[in-house]
Amino acid sequence: MVKDNHSHSADSVLNLRLRVWRQRRGQPGAFEEHALQGVSTSASFLEMMDMLNEKLVRDGKEPFAFDHDCREGICGMCSMTINGMPHGPLPGVTTCQLHMRNFRDGETITVEPWRARAFPVLRDLMVDRSGFDKVIQSGGFISIRAGSAPEANATPIAKDVSDAAMDAAECIGCGACVASCKNGSAMLFVGAKVTHLNLLPQGQPERDRRVLAMVRTMDDVGFGNCTNQGECQAHCPKGITLDVISHLNRDYLGARVKAFFSSTGKARRGGD
């Protein structure tokens, strides 16, 4: 495992060659090469991209479009495949938390968007991740009584259950799992959401309907199928494990069996 190199006491600067993806929606894209000098090793990867864009603007060229928001690793907006690795070479961090001290002076860095059919490129490094929103809309919620807030401890939840649910809830929905998967599968994301909600008592009323609906939407949106290779876990910036996929499979197959044998209701009068 690569470790974030904090041992540099003093900042040094890097001169880099960048191969960055340029694409307009609906048109074929290509890599553009740019040289960038004087990048501080303390800069984050996104700050380095900012430097590149400022240089492009100064030179009268068009800057690269890329997604970013909180820049502290919790919003899930940044989405760059760096040298073939979603979120770059340092495991367990998002692109915004990746620092330039993890690269060498003179290195050529290839930056491209998430690659998956379900994530079409909007522009340059930005992709359309609304496929995830559709999956959430189909079942990633709970139904609660509206009105005054209930007493916080009214629903007892076992510690191990709440821990496991919170581990799954760490998923920030960035899409690195899809981008790293050799099959473009979203099973780690869907597994995290289903595990989070299906473990907790608040998620029980919709438990079976949730998992059936979310898997159906996942398939409809055009994500691939899981082949249990584990690339998603190895690239997830939040350390979500394949446990959630196992949980998703278990809940889904159980719900299908229950739906198959569920009661069809009362006997109809005069019918069979």
Partner 1 sequence: MSTPSCNSALSSIGKKAVMALTGLLLVGFILGHLSGNLLFFKGPEALNAYAQWLHEHAALIWTARVTLLLGVIAHIAAGISLTLENRAARSGGPAVEQTRRASWGSLTMPYTGLVVLGFIVFHLLHYTFQSVALGGQTFPLATNPAFTDVHAMLVAGFSHSGVSAFYIISLALLSLHLSHGVSSMFQTLGLRNERWRGRLDILAIAFGWIVFLGFSAIPASILAGCIK
Residues near partner 1, by CB under 8 A? 31, 81, 83-85, 91, 110, 112, 115-118, 138-139, 141, 179-185, 206, 209-210, 212-213, 215-216, 218-219, 222-231, 233-235, 241-243, 245-253, 256, 259-260
Of residues 12 and 205, the one with the C-beta less far from partner 1: 205
- Under 8 Å CB-to-CB from 116, ≥6 apart: which residues? 127, 175, 178, 179, 181, 184, 223, 224
The span from the first CA to the last CA of the chain, in angstroms, equals: 64
In angstroms, give the least distance from the CB of 156 to partner 1. Answer: 24
Cβ nearer to partner 1, comparing 10 with 136 = 136
Identify the residue whose tokens are 């398939």: 219
What CA–CA distance (Å, rounded) separates 217 from 236?
22
| 8 vs 182 by CB, closer to partner 1 | 182
- Provide the minimum distance between the beta carbon of 251 and partner 1 in the complex, in angstroms, as a whole number: 7
| CB closer to partner 1 out of 94 and 138 | 138
**Positions of E strands within 51-113:** 81-82, 85-86, 108-112
Q: Please, which residues have CB within 8 angstroms of residue 225's CB and are 6 or more apart in sequence? A: 183, 185, 187
What is the nearest approach in angstroms of partner 1 to the Cβ of residue 70?
25
DSSP 200: S
Report, in Å, the least distance between residue 172 CB and partner 1: 19
Q: At its nearest, how many Å lie between partner 1 and the CB of residue 254? A: 8
Radius of gyration of the chain (CA): 22
Measured from the CB atom, the residue of 1 and 152 that comes closer to partner 1 is 1
Instruction: Specify the residue, 128 or 243, whose C-beta has the smaller distance to partner 1.
Output: 243
CB of 58 to partner 1, least distance (A): 28
Alpha helices in the chain (DSSP H): 45-58, 130-139, 159-169, 176-180, 187-199, 207-221, 231-235, 243-260
Residue 82's closest CA among 20, 33, 173? 20
Separation CA 265–CA 272 (nearest Å): 12
To partner 1, the closest distance from the beta carbon of 108 in angstroms equals 10
Nearer to partner 1, 204 or 228 (CB): 228
